């Protein structure tokens, strides 16, 4: 409902958006006919229900700019954004969890402060600036990686991976900060529990205590944050795809914003909401893996 209201209520007359403000003005008879045909004479609740039933059937309308069905345009670009998002996610998990663990183990030492500062710096770094600086260093100065563009991983895995390194790191850096801080906090909570003392008293190796007993139990809040951040990654792709000229959903949405192509904006916003649901579902599934006591009915 929010997606519909955003463009159909706040956005003013959809016909004006379709025809252009001034230039595309039609004769009054033709305008009336078009309004009837598009269902714009119906009351807003009826328009909403029509839009909702179409959306459920996968029909999100047609792009004003290109004439392409919105669902088709989104489906073309979802694999691109998915590959970028997954790279960032894997990169963030690979760095953030060890960083958070390291900070928790070295609590209140200079190592903890350095790791926390690193995590905070990650959160404070504007992704578009970081992307540009990475391009400057690794693509312009050292010429190690391509500065922009996209190659599908299935078409050419090596070139595809090369094209994903810089945007993946850029997109993942903010996530590292958030996840590392959550991991540290959760690990501190768990490390103070009796069963950790028992595990150490049994003479288990510290590595086993930390990974098998502490980390597993500390993962629940971390998984929650990772699930919640899944949709935010999609938000981040709007910027990253622009910086690295990647033809994904984010770039499509931005182009639609400039062109006032409301059906595409609506589709992208709806997709973002679905990504939020997918993130929450993923977190729920992961809970059952990390804590078998939780059974999702």
Partner 1 sequence: MSESTTLAQSAPALAFATKSKQRQLWNLAKRHRIGAAAFGGVILVCLIAATAPIISPYDPLEQDYDSLLQGPSLSHPFGTDRVGRDIFARVLYGTQISVLVGLVAVGISIVIGVPLGLLSGFVGGALDNVIMRFMDALIAFPRLILALAIVAVLSPGIVNVMIAVGIGSMPVYARLMRSQALAIRENQYVEAAHSLGVSNVRVMYRHVLPNAVSPIIVQATLGLGYAVLAEASLSFLGVGVQPPTATWGSILNQGAPLLEQAWWVAFFPGLAIFIFVLCLNLAGDALRDILDPRLRGR
- Within 8 A by CB and 6+ apart from 26, the residues are 19, 34
Q: How far is the CB of 136 from partner 1 (least distance, A)?
A: 6
> Of 61-69, 74-82, 163-171, 252-260, which segment contacts partner 1 by CB under 8 A?
252-260
Binds partner 1 by CB under 8 A, chosen from 32, 44, 140, 285: 140
The CA–CA distances, whole Å, from 203 to 156, 181, 189, 207 equal: 49, 29, 21, 11
CA distance 273 to 146: 32
CA distance 21 to 50: 25
**b vs e for 248-280, b when ≥16 Cβ sit within 10 Å of the residue's Cβ?**
bbbbbbbbbeeebbbbbbbbbbbbbeebbeebe
C-alpha angle 56-242-19 in degrees, rounded to nearest 5: 55
User: CA 122 from chain center: how many Å?
Assistant: 16
Binds partner 1 by CB under 8 A, chosen from 254, 278, 284, 290: 254
> Of 41-49, 78-86, 232-240, 287-295, which segment contacts partner 1 by CB under 8 A?
232-240
Q: How far is the CB of 155 from partner 1 (least distance, A)?
A: 28
273: contact with partner 1 by CB under 8 A = yes
> Of 5-13, 33-41, 72-80, 284-292, which segment contacts partner 1 by CB under 8 A?
5-13
2: contact with partner 1 by CB under 8 A = yes
Q: Residues 274 to 293: which contact partner 1 by CB under 8 A?
A: 275-277
7: contact with partner 1 by CB under 8 A = yes
185: contact with partner 1 by CB under 8 A = yes
Binding letters toward partner 1, positions 35-74, x by CB under 8 A = ----------------------------------------
Take residue 36 and report the two structure tokens written for it. 């009837």
CA distance 277 to 173: 23
Take residue 139 and report the two structure tokens written for it. 């693509």
Q: Which residue intervals of the chain are DSSP H helices?
A: 2-8, 14-19, 28-38, 44-56, 70-105, 110-124, 127-134, 157-191, 194-201, 206-208, 216-243, 249-258, 262-290
Using the minimum distance from each CB to partner 1, give the nearer residue, 149 or 157.
Answer: 149
How close are the terminal C-alpha atoms of the chain, in Å?
A: 28
Q: How far is the CB of 202 from partner 1 (least distance, A)?
A: 28
Q: How far is the CB of 263 from partner 1 (least distance, A)?
A: 12
Picking from 181, 270, 271, 251, the residue whose alpha carbon sits closest to that of residue 218 is: 181
CA distance 288 to 44: 43
Binds partner 1 by CB under 8 A, chosen from 124, 158, 201, 296: 124
235: contact with partner 1 by CB under 8 A = yes
> Of 49-57, 88-96, 196-204, 268-276, which segment contacts partner 1 by CB under 8 A?
268-276
Binds partner 1 by CB under 8 A, chosen from 65, 66, 106, 125: 125
List contacts with partner 1 (CB under 8 A).
Answer: 1-2, 6-7, 10-11, 107-108, 120-121, 123-130, 132-133, 135-136, 140, 184-185, 188, 231-232, 234-236, 238-239, 242-243, 253-254, 256-258, 260, 262, 265, 268-269, 272-273, 275-277
């Amino acid at each position: 409902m929010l997606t519909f209201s955003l463009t159909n209520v706040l956005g003013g007359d959809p016909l004006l958006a379709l025809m252009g403000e001034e230039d595309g003005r039609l004769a009054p008879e033709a305008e009336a006919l078009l309004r009837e045909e598009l269902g714009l004479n119906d009351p807003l609740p009826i328009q909403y229900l029509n839009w909702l039933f179409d959306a459920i059937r996968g029909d999100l309308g047609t792009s004003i700019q290109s004439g392409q069905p919105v669902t088709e345009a989104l489906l073309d670009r979802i694999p691109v954004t998915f590959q970028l998002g997954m790279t960032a996610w894997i990169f963030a998990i690979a760095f953030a969890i060890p960083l958070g663990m390291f900070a928790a183990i070295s609590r209140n030492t200079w190592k903890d402060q350095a790791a926390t500062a690193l995590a905070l710096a990650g959160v404070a770094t504007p992704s578009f600036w970081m992307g540009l600086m990475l391009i400057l260093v690794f693509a312009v100065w050292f010429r190690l990686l391509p500065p922009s563009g996209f190659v599908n991983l299935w078409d050419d895995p090596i070139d595809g991976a090369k094209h994903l390194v810089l945007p993946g790191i850029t997109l993942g850096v903010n996530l590292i900060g958030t996840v590392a801080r959550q991991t540290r906090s959760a690990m501190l909570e768990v490390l103070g529990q009796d069963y950790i003392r028992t595990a150490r008293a049994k003479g288990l190796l510290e590595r086993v205590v930390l990974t098998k007993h502490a980390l597993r139990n500390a993962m629940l809040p971390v998984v929650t944050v990772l699930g919640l951040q899944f949709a935010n990654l999609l938000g981040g792709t709007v910027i990253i795809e622009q910086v690295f000229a990647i033809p994904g959903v984010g770039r499509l949405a931005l182009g639609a914003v400039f062109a006032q192509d409301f059906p595409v904006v609506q589709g992208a916003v709806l997709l973002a909401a679905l990504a939020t649901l997918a993130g929450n579902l993923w977190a729920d599934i992961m809970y059952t893996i990390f804590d078998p006591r939780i059974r999702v009915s």
